[in-house]
A and B are shown apart, each in its own frame.
Chain A
Amino acid sequence: DVKVTQSSRYLVKRTGEKVFLECVQDMDHENMFWYRQDPGLGLRLIYFSYDVKMKEKGDIPEGYSVSREKKERFSLILESASTNQTSMYLCASSLSVTDSPLHFGNGTRLTVT
């Protein structure tokens, strides 16, 4: 079974802080994703990575950056956290982008005060 692990379940940060959300997968998947999930808006893609050091912007990349130095690890960075980034963040990995299911981590609920 694929396991996707997110480092924190709950996180509280202050406005302006730099925030790192870490994600590790153990199935040697090429593709990794960061989504945020908000009530009424569903899952929205922030960034996607299809290989080490390769990344593509998703639908809502503003205010975020990502890092993929190793295949198994994909980090989401909030350079200067703002209250409108309070959300549930979900990391996922997949074997293929178009026809393989996403395997999600348990999510990190981030609150920015």
Chain B
Amino acid sequence: GQNIDQPTEMTATEGAIVQINCTYQTSGFNGLFWYQQHAGEAPTFLSYNVLDGLEEKGRFSSFLSRSKGYSYLLLKELQMKDSASYLCAGGAGGSYIPTFGRGTSLIVHP
């Protein structure tokens, strides 16, 4: 299966910008997903990247570099409600089903 790596925890200040990185195996890559999960709730879809480059959706943007096996989620103008776990998921190699990373817990301070 896929080996997805992302930091365990990050902290940031309200109003700031934060970048959450994710690395994955490039062999047979099928695309990369980002999900947001608030404590006690189900994950919800944020973005999907399959081509190189940056995709912007309001305050959230996601970037992909296929050659480097690297993605990041960029959150601008952070709000307290952005405190959540952010999950990176991708499929590659022999598995067409996306595998999830362990998630990055983002804590936003006032």
A residues adjacent to B (C-beta < 8 A):
33, 35, 40-45, 48, 58-59, 90, 97-99, 101-107
B residues adjacent to A (C-beta < 8 A):
1, 30-31, 33, 35, 41-45, 48, 50, 87, 89, 91, 96-103
Identify the closest chain B residue to A50 (Cβ): B97
The answer on a CB contact under 8 Å between B42 and A106 is yes
The answer on a CB contact under 8 Å between B99 and A45 is yes
* Sample (10) of A-B pairs whose CB atoms are under 8 Å apart: A33-B97, A41-B102, A42-B100, A42-B101, A42-B103, A43-B43, A58-B97, A90-B42, A104-B43, A104-B44
In the complex with contacts A43-B43, A90-B42, A101-B33 CB distance below 8 A: yes
From B33, B42, B87, B98, A105 is in contact (CB under 8 Å) with B42
A57 to chain B, nearest CB (A): 11
A36 to chain B, nearest CB (A): 11
Identify the closest chain A residue to B33 (Cβ): A101
**Known A97-B96, A98-B31, A106-B42; further 7 A-B contacts with Cβ < 8 A:** A33-B97, A98-B30, A98-B91, A99-B30, A101-B35, A102-B45, A104-B42
The answer on a CB contact under 8 Å between B45 and A42 is no
A50 to chain B, nearest CB (A): 10
A107 contacts which chain B residues (CB < 8 A)?
Answer: 42
Identify the closest chain A residue to B1 (Cβ): A59
The answer on a CB contact under 8 Å between B100 and A101 is no
B55 to chain A, nearest CB (A): 14
From A43, A103, A105, A106, B100 is in contact (CB under 8 Å) with A43
Instruction: Report the separation of the CA atoms of residues A43 and B96 in the bound assembly, to the nearest whole angstrom.
Output: 16
B31 contacts which chain A residues (CB < 8 A)?
Answer: 98-99
Instruction: Report the separation of the CA atoms of residues A90 and B48 in the bound assembly, to the nearest whole angstrom.
Output: 20
Instruction: Report the separation of the CA atoms of residues A45 and B2 in the bound assembly, to the nearest whole angstrom.
Output: 12
A40 contacts which chain B residues (CB < 8 A)?
Answer: 102
In the complex with contacts A99-B48, A106-B41, A42-B87 CB distance below 8 A: yes
